[in-house]
Copies of this chain bind each other. A is one copy, B any other.
């Protein structure tokens, strides 16, 4: 289930978008599966229906879901591939940030890799 962090600086509708993307990627919702209705999800997450609506709308704009009139929201066929690609793109952005930081710290590639491995291992342990 999607968890909302009310004190996070990232907007609630954005958290919902990311949560849905994660669930679709994880296979909770497969292609052509129906998503929870806006109203249902709103009460489940204790947020205003408008907020859910906005999240669903953006997911539809990016081709992750589509609406059938009067029936609800459904996962598109190609959504998983798209999301995988998108996720890879985000990973790249983070790595680029890391490289930029490493540069200002005058670290060489070996050192960066070392730090990365250390944190990676530490994180996976959790």
Contact = CB atoms under 8 A, between A and B. Distances in A.
Interface of A: 6-7, 11-12, 21-23, 25-26, 61, 66-69, 71, 84, 87-88, 90-92, 94-106, 109, 112-113, 115-117, 119-121, 123-124
Query: How many of these chains are in the complex?
Result: 4
A92 to B, nearest CB: 5
A10 to B, nearest CB: 9
Contacts of A7: 66-69
A89 to B, nearest CB: 10
Nearest to A11: B69
A61 B61 CA distance: 9
B92 A94 contact: no
